[in-house]
Amino acid sequence: MSQLPWHDELSAALADRKAAGLYRSPRLRLGEQGVNITVDGRPALSFCSNDYLGLAAHPDIKAAFQQAVDKEGAGSGAAHLLTGHSFYHQALEEALAEFTGQPRALLFSTGYMANLGVIDALLSRGDAVIQDKLNHASLLDGGRLTEAEQLRYPHANMDLLHKRLHNAARARHRMVVSDGVFSMDGDIAPLPDIMAHARQHRAAVLIDDAHGFGVIGKNGRGSVSHFNIAPASAPIQVGTLGKAFGTGGAFVAADETVIETLIQQARSYVYTTAQPPAVAAATLTSLKLVEQEDWRREQLQALIRQFRLGAAQLGLDLMPSETPIQPVVIGDDKKALAVGQALEAQGILVGVIRPPTVPRNSARLRITLSASHSEKDVDKLLSALEQAGAH
């Protein structure tokens, strides 16, 4: 194609990014997702997927997917409100409602779209949305889509949440929005406190539990269950299905009125093709494994303990996380990149997370553990971190 009129500007911005150590490119993975993968033609031990329970390539889930393709074909062919809503979508929505203990659940094609849709559909001009500053980009973007006033509070700071709620006292409606498990830090949001503040100010609460479902709570029921909050007083919950569930898509769980409102008004639900029915079929099988196989969560907890103990002995800068997201803070962007590359040279892959995904001077290795890792894998990771100079 011909060059854009502002081609030079873009290409200068790309060069600046490279010089700053912020340039990113996707790698090519061959074969199944898992712990031992082939990336860019080389074998690697991966600590950077969100497949926390090791379900992405589970044989039962693959079989469920294949059977559904035989019955229903590859694509859904239309949006849910036209003819895209299949038997498998309906069954999965019912199963997810039961799993969360909420009256209804609604499927979205991705978590990003669920967050855009739910915030935009429930708030409008004259309302206020109050978000933790470290919330996932899709929540912040969802807030920006609405004409509601945007307020943010420093990470997990309940005094400032209280202040923001107070500042928003004259808004028509208020909604507090938070990750359940923070995607880059791994810590769990102080949900009981958030709920108490919200109640006091007659605010709604929306919890995005992308990294909580499957991983924490009774039978993997997420952060609401982790804190023993009864479903009847639970916040609106968003869950993604591409992480611990190992498939793809997302859902919102809430009461009848919220879900019916989303069906009418959430633009990222209405104006998009339903996910392929086979993905929903695969998720139905995955949901059963998530609920039944507690050993996966037990294995994760054992690996988390092993990693944190070993990392502390190496003097690494850990964060207060009890989840499979175990960041090691490096600080400087280029040093983080160099440590990431040194690990890769030893055949170990971790996420190297730099601004703007995380705050300035907090570049980090985002290490994620999976139930498919072994104790030996974690030993290898620890010795590679030592050699790579991660402290």
Owner of token pair 């993968």:
37
Instruction: Give me the least distance between CB of 127 and ligand PLP, in Å please.
Output: 21
Torsion over CA: 228, 232, 238, 242 (sign): positive
Which residue number, 211 or 221, has a Cβ lying nearer to ligand PLP? 211
Q: 194 CB contacts (<8 Å, ≥6 apart)?
A: 158, 161, 176, 178, 205
Report the residue from 178, 183, 285, 326 that binds ligand PLP according to the rule CB under 6 A: 183
Residue 269 contacts ligand PLP per CB under 6 A: no
- Residue 51: φ, ψ to 5°: -85, 65
Task: Looking at residues 131 to 170 of the shown chain, list those that interact with ligand PLP (rule: CB under 6 A).
Answer: 136, 138
Cβ nearer to ligand PLP, comparing 109 with 306: 109
x/- binding map, residues 203-222, to ligand PLP, per CB under 6 A? -----x-xx-----------
Q: Which two tokens mark 257?
A: 């009125």
Q: Which residues in the 19-38 window bind ligand PLP by CB under 6 A?
A: none
* Binding positions for ligand PLP, 63-122, rule CB under 6 A: 110-112, 115
Residue 233 tokens, joined: 């007083």
Provide, rounded to whole angstroms, the least separation between the CB of residue 167 and ligand PLP. 25
User: Which residues does the annotation mark as catalytic?
Assistant: 183, 211, 243
Report if residue 179 touches ligand PLP, rule: CB under 6 A: yes
Report CA 390 to chain centroid distance, whole Å. Answer: 25
- Minimum distance from residue 125 beta carbon to ligand PLP (Å): 25
Q: Helix, strand, or coil here: 47?
A: strand
Residue nearest to ligand PLP (CB): 111
Residue 134: strand, helix, or coil: coil
Question: CB-wise, 210 or 388, nearer to ligand PLP?
Answer: 210
| Smallest separation, CB 250 to ligand PLP (Å) | 5
C-beta of 208 vs 377, nearer to ligand PLP: 208
* Shortest separation between residue 316's beta carbon and ligand PLP, angstroms: 23
Q: How far is residue 116's CA from residue 152's CA, in Å, rounded to a whole number?
A: 17
Using alpha carbons, list the distances in angstroms from residue 172 to 165, 288, 391: 12, 41, 49
> For strand 149-153 and strand 104-108, is the pairing parallel, antiparallel, or unpaired?
unpaired
Tokens of 349: 């892959």
Task: Give the binding-site size for ligand PLP (rule: CB under 6 A).
Answer: 14
Pick 49 or 299: Cβ nearer ligand PLP: 49
Q: How far is the CB of 110 from ligand PLP (least distance, A)?
A: 3
- The distance of Cα 141 from the centroid of its chain, to the nearest Å, equals 15
In the complex with ligand PLP, the residue whose CB is nearer, 67 or 357, is 357
x-or-dash string of contact with ligand PLP, 236-255, rule CB under 6 A: ----x-x-------x-----
Q: Which residues neighbour 32 within 8 Å (Cβ) at sequence distance 6 or greater?
A: 56, 57
Rounded distance between C-alpha atoms, residue 326 and residue 186, angstroms: 6
Q: Which amino acid is at 278?
A: A
Chain residues in the site for ligand PLP (CB under 6 A): 110-112, 115, 136, 138, 179, 183, 208, 210-211, 240, 242, 250
